Each structure stands twice: as structure tokens, then as C-alpha cells.
A = this chain, B = another copy of it.
């Protein structure tokens, strides 16, 4: 149908992830013949830039997916629940960056470096995992491959952008207000984030964990194909704009010394490893970068076959837009698009 490329729709095109999706599609030279930015009524009349041209943002409705080959969704779970099936019915393949379909047994949940094989069998929708989960499993997979995972304990340091563009603005506004002794407004976050940290991402569930923490457990198990893997997560929002960090304690089934762990991590795709034990990646290093950064790899002497790692990534990139585009690239390479 299209000679020169694919018709690609971005649902949530004006959001923080939507904007990054556009950037990554362009940087990766994904074969786009036409880009259709879709958003809510709120963005009607606005334009986004694509290949040097101003493209009008279209309002998302039931007919928006006519002729679309690939639809990248990142506008919240309820939007995906309603419109992703319509996109599939119109003939598009959907890569969905919300929690809507991630745990659906017939929807692949994919990090291309970890479980690309899961892409072979889909029903039109492929789910992009939770941001902090993606960067964690990217670092866990090479260790699992050589020594077998036994248990994972993680505490996160997640940036404001994980909650969207309004959240980034709120962090900035709260910071300015605090420095000026002015009134602080809190609408997006559950309480003030500026100069504080909040162990509270997404809503609380009955077991005392947050939904974000459940995602890190359940999605890790699904992506890695380890349905019984013991995982415990504490997810914490920190006053950083972009970039998530994870402090991870891993127990392995078999011995793996630090040098061998570093070798395995270095050989894995998509990772940048800092071998020097006195340097480390931070959020500032990864902003605008596709890879997952790993540092501070050391032995955990408190348990048999234990390792500790510090894993950082741009949550808007590998945690969202880059991983979605990589899924699309893998589908395209397999001839599964258009």
C-alpha cells in the first residue's frame, strides 16, 4: 500500500513520551511515510514538528486509525483500553506504553534485548513494559543467562517525568516556590516532591505495595519467563526531572564473581557498563540516551551468590519511547508491519 514507508500514529503525541517517540523515530531513521500525531481535544489546533514541517495534531476518535500501519500509544491506560482495539480492527499493529494490556496472557510484553521471541505471536497489540522494569530486566537478563536468578530486591529512584509533563512542571514550580518562600502547589504528586522523596508511585494496593511495585514484580516475571521469581520492590519518586535509577540486590543460583558479571553485562546488547568500581552512572548521564547504564557492580557478601548493581536509564527513552520504537523495528525487520 505504502511504497516508501509506514503510516505511523502516535497517540499522546503532545506528552513527554509522545514527543520522545517522535525524536527516537527520527534518530533511528524508522521508515515513516506519514506521521499522524493524535491527542485529546485539549491539544486540538496545536502542531508538532516532524522532519522540519509543522504537522497538525489530530483529535483521537474512532476513525483515527484508517490506513495506519503502526500505532504507538502513550496516553494513559483508559485511552489504550478504548482505542487500541479500534486501531487493531483498522489494521494497525499497536505498541502500547501503558499498563492496559501488559499482563494480558495473549499480549506479548517485550524488551527486545530480553525476550524478542515473544514478538512472534501477537494479536495486534504488543505491550511496552513499565519504565523501571525495562531497565532492571535489561541488566538482570545477562546475569540470569550465566548464573540463574534466585531472588531480586530493588529500591528505585524514579524521576518526575515518569508521571508525565505536568509532573515535571510541578517539580520545577515547587522548587522555585520553595526557594522563594512562596506557596507550594501540589496537584500531580501525592505530596510535595521538591527537596523530598516519596515512596509512593501509582496507587496503594491492599497488600501495602503500590501498583508501581506490583508492576516491577509481575512484569519482570512475565518478560523473563520466570513466573515464580521472587522479587521485592520499593518504588520511590525523587526530585529529578529525567532518568530513573535502581539499586538492585540479586541472589543467583550459581556462583558468579564480579569480573564475570561485568563481562556478561558488557557482552549484552543495549547496556553500557562502568567497570571502574569508583565511578557510576547517574540520571544526568543518561538523559537523551537510548542505552541502559550499569555501575557499582559488587559482591553482596550478606548472601550466597549475591551481587549488587546500580542501573540507570532515561525513563522517557529506554523506559518508554526507545523500547517502543525498538519493538516496532523488530516487527518491521520480521515483515510484520504492513
The residue among A155, A157, A207 with the most chain B CB atoms within 10 A of its own CB is A155
Contact between chains at B234 and A296 (CB < 8 Å): yes
Contact between chains at A249 and B278 (CB < 8 Å): no
Q: How many copies are assembled?
A: 2
Contacts of A299 in B (CB 8 A): 207-208
- Write out, one digit per residue, whether chain A residues 253-295 have a CB within 8 A of any chain B CB (1) or not (0): 0000010000000000000000001101011100000000001
The residue among A191, A204, A232, A297 with the most chain B CB atoms within 10 A of its own CB is A232
A112 sits at the interface (CB 8 A): no
Contact between chains at A298 and B209 (CB < 8 Å): yes
Contact between chains at A208 and B298 (CB < 8 Å): yes
Contact A232 B191, CB 8 Å, known A196-B284, A238-B197? no
Contact A302 B208, CB 8 Å, known A195-B241, A283-B197? no
Main secondary structure of the interface of A (DSSP, over half): mixed
Interface residues of A in 302-317 (CB under 8 A from B): 302-303, 306, 308, 310
Contacts of A225 in B (CB 8 A): none
A200 sits at the interface (CB 8 A): yes
Contact A234 B308, CB 8 Å, known A155-B247, A208-B297, A249-B153? yes
Contact A239 B195, CB 8 Å, known A249-B153, A277-B208? yes
Q: How far is the CA of A196 from the CA of B197 in the complex (A)?
A: 12
A94 sits at the interface (CB 8 A): no
Contacts of A231 in B (CB 8 A): 302
Contact between chains at B300 and A232 (CB < 8 Å): yes
Q: A191-B284, A197-B282 are in contact. List 16 more A-B contacts (CB 8 A).
A: A152-B302, A153-B302, A157-B197, A179-B179, A195-B284, A197-B238, A197-B240, A208-B298, A208-B299, A230-B302, A231-B302, A232-B301, A232-B302, A232-B303, A234-B296, A238-B239
